[in-house]
Amino acid sequence: MINAALRAFALLSLAAAPASASVAATSPVVPAPLDTVVFGGGCFWGVQAVFQHVNGVVSATSGYAGGKVAKPSYEDVSTGTTGHAEVVRVVFDPSKVSYDKLLEVFFTVAHDPTQLNRQGPDHGTQYRSAIFFRTEAQKAATQSYVEKLSKSGAYKGPIVTQVAPLTAFYVAESYHQDYATLHPDDGYIKYNDAPKVAALKQNYASLWTDKLAAH
């Protein structure tokens, strides 16, 4: 659940955003190109479940990134020796949801960015907080957002999120895709991940969609 300080920060960020220029009624409708970013926030089950319910997200895919081992398996990554983190590749439509709004969801709902190399009950570098950007614009937006969030005092501890370029993304095994949705009665899901999805629906009603994004 996001606290009052985080909500205030979100509102300030929204107020500071420039208004979009109006488009003439005669302008042709051109579909906005899709964009991609990769988030690491602990176990990918919950992170995927959160972003699959964000309107404007086309797909959210569990996988691995950040390491140097090619085509790692879940067993490989779980050793903590590959350098990879459990991540979710989010493909989104910028005309429906902004990159900054995805950052807001990531930092306030999907995970706790102050936990170093762990998230909840899961420990190890493979569960680190991380954002793997694709473009210099994403890098700048991410660094700016983290700086503002750090100065806001929303968290008692420092933000430890790794911000690094995306060099490779490896899709996780099929049994990890849609795991939270397919196993709602799993104890881990009920305790760790269902509350995140509920928080998204309660605190970001304007972003919520019942239609699950693809994986």
Angle between helices 136-152 and 4-16 (to 10 degrees): 130
Tally of CB atoms within 10 A around 72 = 21
Q: Name residue 57's amino acid.
A: V
Contact yes or no for 72/64 (Cβ under 8 A): yes
* Catalytic annotation present for 43: yes
Q: Name residue 155's amino acid.
A: Y
Contact yes or no for 150/141 (Cβ under 8 A): no
Strand, helix or coil for residue 12: helix
Among residues 2, 38, 43, 131, the one annotated as catalytic is 43
Q: Which two tokens stand for residue 170?
A: 């490896």
Strand, helix or coil for residue 44: helix
CA dihedral 38, 39, 43, 47 (to 10 degrees): -100
Active site amino acids: 43
